[in-house]
Amino acid sequence: MALQILQTIENISSIPTLPTVIERLTRLLQNPKTSAEEVGKAITTDQALASKVLKLVNSAFYGFPGRISTITHAIVILGFSTVKNVVLTASIFDIFRNKGEGMAGFDLEDFWLHSIACGAASAAIAKQIGGLEKEECFIAGLIHDLGKLILCQYLPDEFRSALQHSAENRQLLYESEKKLFGSTHAEIGGYLTERWNLPTNLQNPVKYHHQPSPAHDNHPMTAIVHCADILVRALDYGNGGDAHIPSLSEQVGKSLDLDSIDLDALLDSIHAEVEKASVFIQWT
Amino acid sequence: MKGYPPFRIGTVMKKIPVDKIEDEMVLGREVCGTGGNTLLTKGTILSRALGRRLQNWGIASVYVEGEEELPQEESVVTVSPEELMRHLSEKFAKTMNNPYMEKILNAVYRYRLKKSGK
């Protein structure tokens, strides 16, 4: 990352942090002897978060509408890993919703719609190809553009000029960012996920969603997010700040075996996942 | 969007296109997606911003509380196949040497036409 931008971001004391409960959960889940009650207790220390988690697990998104009454019940039905993902998702919305304002060319509602749809599309692709956890892919897609929120909030002048440059020169936003200040929203978002100590399978899709490479760890999840971003742009779900569509990496096409995927069925499944994810539109 | 108003009895409702939603309107009937999932529950306080999001989600109209004032109209998004192809070609302009992108463009075109009922 260009040094100056990195230093600027490092020096911002108000850069958002994840609630401590996430770290506690990660530690607990690493211990095979941890019980559902212990995890439930850890989550309910933050009552506001716990009630959001319950609201989410009872939405159509997780498939148990209105049937889960306690966090411990949620853990028993959904499993540790899914509940941890729910807590992380709820925390991310908590941190960023209603924070700051958009700017010309960057409408926050459109941004969130694009991000939620990218998460939903990532989940749909994961479901279709198998082998990866759907909820984790949702989060990776949801947070892939977090760097744009940091830029918009903390470096508004730089971000405004990148938006303008991208529109005037018909370039992708990350190309304009790289040209104007030597760094991209992907690198800045990646830095944030490192600072948050998120696992690398969530860090890398954020860092490399515009430049996926099998040489990086967690390439399958990055490949899914790269493809999901392209599909939701084509479907016009929201807007991440630029009007064009990046080209799909040929390596991603091969690794997802796109030639043998029924794209018509995939688009239907993306639509269904986006509808289920609409529970989040009330949160943004 | 916060909170739900208490119970209401004998609510008078009108059906309006989502682009006519105003701040503080109250949703008279739940809004479901095409898959039958509940998107918004009855009693939700609406806003213009939420109306735009519903539009993005492909919802044409909703029932809100209040006397009938507007003519009942279905807001159907009508885009001709030519307009859709022009729009997509513009978006995909820089990617057309990539065979995967050609495949994606064609699939998205077919899908969006199917969705708009053409």
CA A199-A143-A246 angle, to 5 degrees, is: 115
The mean pLDDT value of chain B amounts to 75
Chain B CB contacts of A271 below 8 Å = 34, 115
Percent of chain A exceeding pLDDT 70 equals 97
Check if B33 contacts A (Cβ < 8 Å): yes
Residues A88, A81: Cα–Cα separation, whole Å: 11
Contact B100 A267 (CB under 8 A): no
* Per-residue pLDDT at A48 exceeds 90: no
**Distance between CA atoms of residues B51 and B29, nearest Å:** 15
| B112 touching chain A per CB within 8 A | yes
CB contact under 8 A, B37 and A235: no
Q: Which residues of A touch B98 (CB under 8 A)?
A: 247-248, 250
Hey, is the C-beta of B2 within 8 angstroms of any chain A C-beta? no
State whether B111 and A267 contact (CB < 8 Å). yes
What six digits make up the tokens of A152?
């918009």
pLDDT of residue A264: 95
pLDDT, one tens digit per residue, over A65-100 is: 778 889 999 998 888 888 888 999 988 888 887 667
Task: Using a CB–CB cutoff of 8 Å, tell me whether A230 touches chain B.
Answer: yes
Residues of B within 8 A of A60 (CB-CB) are 37-38
Domains of chain A by range and CATH?
A: 17-98 (no CATH), 101-284 (1.10.3210.10)
Q: Is A245 on the interface with B (CB under 8 A)?
A: yes
CB A244 within 8 A of CB B93: yes
Q: CB distance from A65 to chain B under 8 Å?
A: yes
Q: For all residues of chain A together, what is the average pLDDT?
A: 90
**Residue B52, pLDDT above cutoff 60:** yes
| DSSP state letters, chain A | --HHHHHHHHT-TT-----HHHHHHHHHHHSTT--HHHHHHHHHTSHHHHHHHHHHHTSGGGT-TT---SHHHHHHHH-HHHHHHHHHHHHHHHHHTT-S--BTTB-HHHHHHHHHHHHHHHHHHHHHH-SS-HHHHHHHHHHTTHHHHHHHHH-HHHHHHHHHHHHHHT--HHHHHHHHHS--HHHHHHHHHHHTT--HHHHHHHHHSSS--TTSTTHHHHHHHHHHHHHHHHTT-S--S-SS-PPPPHHHHHHTTGGGS-HHHHHHHHHHHHHHGGGGGGT-
B48 near A CB under 8 A? no
Highest mean pLDDT among A30-39, A247-256, B43-52: A247-256
Q: How many CB pairs below 8 Å do chains A and B form together?
A: 87
User: With an 8 Å Cβ cutoff, are B57 and A278 in contact?
Assistant: yes
Contact of B32 with chain A, judged by CB distance below 8 Å, is answered with no
What pLDDT shows up at residue B5?
26
* pLDDT tens figures, A8-24: 888 887 888 888 888 88
**Contact list, B94 vs chain A (CB under 8 Å):** 170, 244-245, 247
Tell me the nearest-neighbour CA distance from B118 into chain A, angstroms: 16
- Read off the pTM: 0.80
Considering only CB atoms, which chain A residues are within 8 Å of B50? 281-282
Q: Which residues of B touch A235 (CB under 8 A)?
A: 108, 111-112
Interface residue A278 vs chain B (CB under 8 A): yes
- Give Cα A81 to chain centroid, integer Å: 17
Nearest beta carbon to residue A247 from set B49, B57, B94: B94
Contact, B62 vs B41, CB < 8 A? no
Query: What percent helix, strand, coil does chain B show, rounded to 5?
Result: 35, 15, 50
Q: Please give the torsion angle defined by the CA atoms of residues A19, A57, A233 and B57, in that order, rounded to the nearest 10 degrees.
A: -130
CA-angle at A242, arms to A12 and B58, nearest 5°: 110
Interface pTM (ipTM) of the complex? 0.88
Q: Is B79 on the interface with A (CB under 8 A)?
A: no
User: Sign of the CA dihedral A278, A281, A283, B4?
Assistant: negative
Query: B93–A274: do the CB atoms touch at under 8 Å?
Result: no
Token representation of residue A262? 């029924």
Whole-number pLDDT of residue B34: 61
Q: Delineate the domains of chain B, giving CATH numbers in brackets.
A: 13-65 (3.90.105.10), 81-115 (no CATH)
Q: Tell me: the pLDDT tens digits for A156-196?
A: 999 999 999 999 999 999 999 999 999 999 999 999 999 99
Q: Does A263 touch chain B (CB under 8 A)?
A: yes
Report yes or no: B4 at the A interface, CB cutoff 8 Å: no
